[in-house]
Amino acid sequence: MSDASMTRSGLTLAAIAAVCTTLVALTFQLTDERIDANRQAWLEQSLQPVLAGVSFDSGIIDSQLTFPSPNALPGAGDAIIYRVYSAGAPAAALFVVSAREGYSGPIKLLVGVDADGAVTGVHVLEHRETPGLGDQVETGKSDWATQFRGRSLGDPVSAGWAVRRDGGEFDQLTGATITPRAIVKAVRETLEYYAENRILVFGVSGDPAPPDEVSR
């Protein structure tokens, strides 16, 4: 190829890349708001099932609290927390966190913890794991995530908070150890955060008491 034709090819590629980028940017602009709204709706829809077995009489959604990054919860960015109360006393907290060491990027999780520090449920909100392997952690695909229910920092003790292959007490998936390992770690870190920051979670300055007039 001569220099001139090389330049021409380069320019064609650049022009088409510019057009394609514009197309994607415009679509993003057009869909951005709806995608955020859908994401929030999906999160809100998943809150209740994660609280299975907890009795509470306060609203969930309006109890949202944002801990700006950096914070000690797993995942990058702001952490979102929901709190529920029973007769004014803390009943459970829900954490939106992300497991950073997934097979294909971060895995967004919802982790529910009751007042005693036991897990009420774990739900995978978003992930990019491989279909048929890592995606079995999804609630609809297998019951893998149910094994966390009722577990707490003392049960099992710290070395047990790992997948079996690493000497822990949690099942991995057949042919997929990386995804479960990442999630077990994130759940454990969430529990540790909760153990140390319980007061921060349930009563932050400016938001001291549970909102008692909110109905369920």
Give the footprint of other proteins on residues 21-50 (CB under 8 A).
21, 23-24, 27-28, 30-31, 34-35, 38, 41-42
129 to 158: interface string for ligand FMN, x by CB under 6 A: xx--xx------------------------
102 to 131: interface string for ligand FMN, x by CB under 6 A: -x-------------------------xx-
Residue pair 95/50 in contact (Cβ under 8 Å)? The answer is no
Give the pairing type, strands 79-86 and 107-114: unpaired
By the rule CB under 6 A, 177 interacts with ligand FMN: yes
Distance CA 4, CA 166 (A): 59
**CB-closest chain residue to ligand FMN:** 134
**Who's near 93: CB < 8 A, 6+ residues apart?**
81, 82, 83, 84, 112, 113, 194, 201, 202
User: Which sign does the torsion angle of CA 29, 67, 147, 99 carry?
Assistant: positive
By the rule CB under 6 A, 186 interacts with ligand FMN: no
**To the nearest whole angstrom, how small is the minimum distance from the Cβ of residue 107 to ligand FMN?**
10
Interacting span for ligand FMN (CB under 6 A) from 111-119, 143-151, 175-183, 202-210: 175-183
Residue 103: contacted member of other proteins, ligand FMN, none (CB under 5 to 8 Å, by partner type)? ligand FMN
Torsion angle, alpha carbons of 193, 197, 202, 206, to 10:
-120
By the rule CB under 8 A, 132 interacts with other proteins: yes
Q: Which CA distances in Å does 24 have to 11, 19, 43? A: 20, 9, 26
Q: Which CA distances in Å does 133 have to 57, 68, 102, 162? A: 39, 33, 12, 19
Name the site residues for other proteins (rule: CB under 8 A): 1, 5, 8-9, 12-13, 16-17, 20-21, 23-24, 27-28, 30-31, 34-35, 38, 41-42, 128, 130-132, 135
